[in-house]
Amino acid sequence: MTELFFILKDIILPIFIIMAIGFILQKKFNLDVQTLAKLNIYFLVPGFIFVKLYSTTFSASLFGKVMFFFIIYVIILYLISLLWAKLSGAKKDEKIAFSNSVMFFNSGNYGVPVNDLVFKSDPFAMSIQVIMLTLQNIFLFSYGIFSLQSVKIGKLKAALGYFKMPVLYALLAGILLNVYNVPVPAFVWVPANYIADAMVSLALLTLGAQVAQIKFKTGLSSVYFSLLIRLIIGPIIALGMIYVFQIDGIAAQALLIASAMPTSVNSSVIAQEYNNQPNFAAQVVLFSTLASTVTVTMVIYLARILF
């Protein structure tokens, strides 16, 4: 009960307060949600990614191991989503929206605080979480955007369009400047941090505004299946991989807990930006975040008794 109380009070409640503000503002002022999505993708997310990648220290060996785990994990989730699409007869845009909802999980504004709470600021555990966050951002803003654009404009144009995204250059700049220890001047670093600090709040505000527009009676069966895969089947897959790869200790705990996070807020943001099932994406983020109050607590307890 104590673990559940801390997660509810320190992590879930702040998230829903900001979402509630976005919901109220949308109802009162009828905000332009497309503009909010553009601010996230073209302004805030690049700054956030640059700051995180430049300022985080981790070894190449640990990065490689976590990346291998992440790739295998995401491939399995993707294959499961393809099976669902085939059995349900989903259209191409529905299949992509569903796949994104189970492959992209909230490693940042949810996963980082959970990791910090569970491991009491242990640097090794946090480094694993930051690597997961980095890989999620790279994956979300490369394949995630490519998959959504390819539905509308074709694969070639979608691939070329990705090179116009500021996120790509923020990723490259953050990694390269970090690896080669290149100092960033204060007149760049200070505004970059201001931008990064605003990312989580505006992403959640955007989600709240999206929620205000949702018609909750449509497509709920797909939402339920997404929640089942993301919050229950996902951690089970991760647990099996941990045993197969013989991972133990804090690394095993951190990877298992990281795999249990709800659907990423940014998956809803890009769905809104590229108009691909935005109602479905917002519902999944909302309901998976709510349901995670129970499932994440259970996974934390399981991680502690198993490893």
Q: Check residue 83 and give its pLDDT.
A: 92
Percent of the chain with pLDDT over 70: 93
pLDDT band at 301 (very low <50, low <70, confident <90, very high): confident
Q: What CATH code is carried by the domain that includes residue 120?
A: 1.20.1530.20
Range of the domain at 20: 2-306
pLDDT for residue 255: 96
One-letter amino acid for residue 118 of the chain: V
Note whether 289 and 15 are within 8 A (CB): yes
**182 burial class (0-12, 13-18, 19+ CB within 10 angstroms)?**
exposed
The token pair at 79 is 């294959």
* pLDDT value for 211: 81
pLDDT for the residue 162:
66
Among the listed residues 53, 2, 61, the one whose alpha carbon sits nearest the alpha carbon of residue 169: 53
- Whether residue 239 is predicted with pLDDT greater than 80 in this model: the reply is yes
Using the predicted structure, report yes or no on whether residue 172 has a pLDDT greater than 60: yes
- Residue 263, phi then psi, degrees to nearest 5: -60, 140
Q: Sort 146 into a burial class: Cβ within 10 Å, 0-12 / 13-18 / 19+.
A: middle
Please give the pLDDT value at position 20.
92
Residue type for 150, please?
A: S
pLDDT surpasses 80 at 3: no
pLDDT of 219 strictly over 60: no
Asked if 251 and 61 touch (Cβ cutoff 8 Å), the reply is no
Instruction: Output phi, psi for 250, to 5 deg.
Output: -60, -35
Q: What is residue 282's predicted lDDT score, i.e. its pLDDT? A: 86
pLDDT of residue 158: 59
118 with 124: CB under 8 angstroms?
no
Mean pLDDT score, 72-86: 92
Average pLDDT rounded to a whole number, residues 139-147: 77
DSSP 56: -
Q: pLDDT tens digit string along 32-43?
A: 988 988 888 889
Q: How far is 263 from 284, CA to CA, in rounded Å? A: 7
pLDDT band at residue 304 using 50, 70 and 90 as cut-offs: confident
Mean pLDDT of the chain: 86
Q: What is the pLDDT of residue 152?
A: 63
Residues in the chain: 307
Q: What's at 235, amino acid-wise?
A: P
pTM of the predicted model, to two decimals?
0.83
According to the model, what pLDDT value does residue 207 have? 82
Residue 250 confidence (pLDDT)? 94
| Chain Cα centroid distance, residue 182 | 28
Number of domains observed in the structure of the chain: 1
For residue 23, what are the β-bridge partners? none
In this prediction, residue 41 carries a pLDDT of 81
Task: Say what the pLDDT of residue 160 is.
Answer: 66
Q: Which of 3-12, 97-106, 186-195, 222-231 has the least mean pLDDT?
A: 3-12
